[in-house]
Structure 1
């Protein structure tokens, strides 16, 4: 079967060069960066289209990130939220089309905004299209909780168009594939399940005491959250659970490190919540950090918490486990695949403060269980590699090229 020589990826709303945990950058940015680099190593040239003002940047040998200058579209400063970006799609498309296809063999779009643009490019250039949702409007709305904004109707409608028109769809897990089928009417034979990987050279077990000493963490039970600070990710729930434990178990020594920055348009003030609950001596809010430093924080932790209301996979869980740390996560989306309940961590049913406090204290009270789960977590995560993700993606590209040739 034919293998593409050149692939154009679209990630219009966020650049793979951005720091995960800030703005709109998260696990998808890590996914695109690792996938593109792995494809280039396998001999496929990759060009990534995104919005920004940084011009052309060689991210790695064989991987070019091309920023579409928003300032040229009347937006001095070149920054725009993903909520406003759909209105700029016509101008962005004109900019891409004016450059030509550049000899690309296949389009791979990430997230719905890029998917809509890719549909037009696929038609204009007669190219096969592979699309990765990463998250879906209907899934997020199904799990929406108080304070979370409903996804715009244009997003769900756009995703329906993409599902019907893309040559292939990729899903992180079998659960996501079922959501594509049940909520969007996707044909199962056009879906390929491709789990993400983890960079095992960066995220791996090492001395916890040494990591704690380097970061200045004392002998407390250390809880870590890493991700965008928004209701969907649930750091407020972690704060509430810790405040409950302080009231009910005042002898329990806890320390909480929340790593990330505010994301999205919702009103979400964690600093105010920390002070209102009187836990400012327990909780520290830290900015996003690069992968090597994040791995250090994961190694320093006794527990990594993921109180998300929706996750297509939850790459943070895999990175934490690879670092030898058990994870407490909501039983939602792809997290039951990333976290083996009772073996590599604990899955919590629902988002009640009491249930989360109970799960956290179960591990906080049992260092032997934490150590056992940490060893199992590292073993579990070692089964995921970006090389495997790249190989499965190449097979999807081959199917897309064959499907397009038959059409």
Structure 2
């Protein structure tokens, strides 16, 4: 099968969406499928044997500087036409991937769209709430052009349906249980994360340092936690537009900011912590929580978004209401001081993570591609809308 894929984010940027795209590309290649990926920024020319088309882009310098916005051009559509895809997959369509949606419609191609980031909700966190309703309308319009829409957690399936997105199904969660495992812990990384105090109780966060992650909530949580668990430390692994502000707010004597880590260092950082804190209320899944669980480290997360889809409250970690500072302190203190409970939860978390492989998740996506293709051609809908009718360039069905 040939898949033309459009994504709003890709390497070298690192986040949950990029990780899912990267792992999916790898397994699609192993399964014999071919992908032509369109991505903004400075992506590699290929990944896992698939060609990557670099799309001209610009930075949202003052709003979200690490995000590169791809600029649609006619050359993109011509590359897609010459590829003759069986199906088009648009990842989180907002801008570049939105062009993928419209290009697929113009060429009468089967379309699958995946919903990874609740952009309308992010507008509130980024203090541009006036754009919430226009963003919601735009995303609904784009997704409803697709034969199949996928969300990465059960709560986000509900959320998508709530905003009027149709034909929604679940993209199964997955995690790399070979790369992330308890044995990756090292004394060297523990010393690094605790600023030379490896014996100190250690809370960790891994991910983007951005306003919508609600990381500022941990400032008071950690202050009160140290009253209960003297010497407790926090390691913040990652980078982003909110990093400098966070460095000003957290106690520098008990907090380490490592910047981006990857590969063996990232795996060691996960596994070397005692507990993972995840206060974000805007996650569609929370892949970093799964990676922590695969590392045998229980997670305390917000009871919001897709996180309850990952954490079994009381078994693999704890769920806490976002604004309940006392609840956060209680759960973190329990795991830091009760080594038996922490070890049992860590084992349960690892066992749960082992149930979800990238291979199985990718096989499910391939089935959804097949459904999109079958639906498109068996329930063929004529191109609609004055612009599509006027400028349509329908392509014949790819059968080889």
TM over 0.5: yes
Provide the residue aligned with 1:18 in structure 2. Answer: 12
For the 8 Å contact 1:129–1:168, the answer to whether it is kept is yes
**Paired residue secondary structure (2:283):** coil
For the 8 Å contact 2:225–2:232, the answer to whether it is kept is no
From 163, 180, 183, the equivalent of 1:203 is 180
Which segments of 5 or more consecutive residues in structure 2 lack a partner in the other structure?
381-400
From 273, 276, 281, the equivalent of 2:249 is 273
Provide the residue aligned with 2:339 in structure 1. Answer: 367
From 41, 57, 65, the equivalent of 2:52 is 65
**Paired residue secondary structure (1:66):** strand
1:112-159 per-position Cα deviation (integer Å, ceiling 9, x unaligned): 324421221112222111111101234446xx56x7542724421211
**Paired residue secondary structure (2:163):** helix
**Paired residue secondary structure (2:181):** coil
Provide the residue aligned with 2:108 in structure 1. Answer: 126
Cα shift at 1:58: 1.7
For the 8 Å contact 2:279–2:322, the answer to whether it is kept is no
- Is 1:222 the counterpart of 2:202? The answer is yes
**Which is worse superposed, 153-162 or 102-111?**
153-162
Cα shift at 1:268: 6.7
**In structure 2, do the counterparts of structure 1 residues 7 and 385 end up closer, same or farther at CA, with 3 Å as the change threshold?**
same
For the 8 Å contact 2:187–2:198, the answer to whether it is kept is no
Aligned mates of 2:292, 2:156 — CA distance in 1: 22
**Paired residue secondary structure (1:312):** coil
From 243, 259, 272, the equivalent of 2:237 is 259
For the 8 Å contact 1:204–1:323, the answer to whether it is kept is yes
Aligned mates of 2:244, 2:374 — CA distance in 1: 47
Cα shift at 1:208: 4.4
Aligned mates of 1:211, 1:372 — CA distance in 2: 24
1:334-381 per-position Cα deviation (integer Å, ceiling 9, x unaligned): 111211110011101122333322221121221111111000000011
Provide the residue aligned with 2:394 in structure 1. Answer: none
How many residue pairs match? The answer is: 372
**In structure 2, do the counterparts of structure 1 residues 354 and 317 end up closer, same or farther at CA, with 3 Å as the change threshold?**
same
**Paired residue secondary structure (1:232):** helix
Provide the residue aligned with 2:277 in structure 1. Answer: 305
Provide the residue aligned with 1:35 in structure 2. Answer: 24
For the 8 Å contact 1:235–1:258, the answer to whether it is kept is no
For the 8 Å contact 1:299–1:324, the answer to whether it is kept is yes
Cα shift at 1:84: 9.8
Aligned ranges 1:338-357 → 2 under 5 Å = 338-357=310-329
**In structure 2, do the counterparts of structure 1 residues 149 and 221 end up closer, same or farther at CA, with 3 Å as the change threshold?**
farther
**In structure 2, do the counterparts of structure 1 residues 156 and 85 end up closer, same or farther at CA, with 3 Å as the change threshold?**
farther
Aligned mates of 1:323, 1:211 — CA distance in 2: 17
From 36, 43, 52, the equivalent of 2:41 is 52
TM-score with structure 2 setting the length: 0.86
Aligned mates of 1:233, 1:122 — CA distance in 2: 33
Which segments of 5 or more consecutive residues in structure 1 lack a partner in the other structure?
21-25, 71-77
Provide the residue aligned with 1:177 in structure 2. Answer: 157
For the 8 Å contact 2:59–2:65, the answer to whether it is kept is no
**In structure 2, do the counterparts of structure 1 residues 123 and 286 end up closer, same or farther at CA, with 3 Å as the change threshold?**
same
**In structure 2, do the counterparts of structure 1 residues 304 and 211 end up closer, same or farther at CA, with 3 Å as the change threshold?**
farther
Aligned mates of 1:87, 1:206 — CA distance in 2: 36
1:367-406 per-position Cα deviation (integer Å, ceiling 9, x unaligned): 1111110000000111111001111001100000001102
Pairwise CA RMSD of aligned residues? 2.6
For the 8 Å contact 2:203–2:277, the answer to whether it is kept is yes
TM-score with structure 1 setting the length: 0.84
**Paired residue secondary structure (2:162):** helix
